[in-house]
Copies of this chain bind each other. A is one copy, B any other.
């Protein structure tokens, strides 16, 4: 049998888990609501049960011999060397917690499973998932940007996760693109997330609808209750030809492009994989991001610049978490 591992995407809403084959990708998966109320110790217990169940089920299919371990992608700051998760957003009651070792201990003591556990940040494992199984397979170096409620990023350099000295590399949402502009996020002016995070997109859309003389058809999609306006409505309206929504996504892509210009200039990374819920707007956003890249990267650095959609959707995390167990990919 070929090697396989279990990959876990620990989120504030759901725990997604999958048994993943080194060459074959996801074999079986499971999903459960995160028991956030029970705090770190409770969640460790929940994770261990999910892992033990999945391990037994998958072992019956692929055999237990070539099992490589469990990888976990978690939100917040992760010290992957020490296996410590700090202050995960959306997981109330957590501070600084040795998640890797506690999970390993729980698997051993409660489930009699002596298996290696790897831990990394969710944005990093999503990028690594795309590197091994998705849109980044052909790229040696790339940045994956996840456009969702927030704007996150994970960097793959020489086919490895680039974490930085403190594990906080790739926080593209905190790059400043408009330091004298009107937008603010987390108290910082003009960051990428302040400009194209979900809240910023909705606020921008409302301003653009307000300012439009000919109006927008997006109102129909949210029953003219603009407090319910979502990126999905704006995507549908744009696909139906609504000019305000089209201009909105063009601006979002254009600003995303500005952020990526800075990545090219600073890191000499020229490949970009874009994922996340907002990226559902797809080509609407990508096309204008590419125009911006072409316009705003000095010609001496433009060769080889590419921007592509992520391929694994919300399975990138499980794939990448499992791939942590396989060692460095080729």
Interface residues of A (CB under 8 A from B): 77, 87, 140-141, 153, 155, 163-181, 186, 188-189, 255, 258, 261-270, 295-298, 300-301, 303-304
Contacts and interface: CB of A to CB of B under 8 A. Distances in A.
A174 B77 contact: no
Given A266-B262, A266-B266, A300 B179 contact: no
Contacts of A141: 164-165
A178 B296 CA distance: 12
Contact of A300 (B168, B261, B263): B168
A169 B266 contact: yes
Contacts of A181: 178, 180
Which of A141, A155, A172, A266 has most chain B Cβ within 10 Å? A266
Given A174-B265, A175-B262, A176-B296, 17 more contacts: A87-B300, A140-B165, A153-B266, A164-B267, A166-B268, A169-B267, A171-B301, A174-B261, A174-B264, A177-B177, A177-B178, A178-B178, A178-B181, A179-B255, A188-B295, A188-B296, A189-B296
Given A177-B176, A298-B171, A166 B304 contact: yes
A175 to B, nearest CB: 5
A181 B186 CA distance: 23
A301 B121 CA distance: 15
25 contacts: A141-B164, A141-B165, A164-B269, A165-B269, A165-B270, A166-B268, A166-B304, A168-B301, A169-B267, A170-B268, A171-B298, A171-B301, A172-B265, A173-B265, A174-B261, A174-B298, A175-B262, A176-B261, A176-B296, A179-B255, A179-B258, A186-B298, A188-B297, A262-B266, A263-B266
A77 B178 CA distance: 29
A155 to B, nearest CB: 8
Contacts of A266: 153, 155, 169-172, 175, 262-263, 266-267
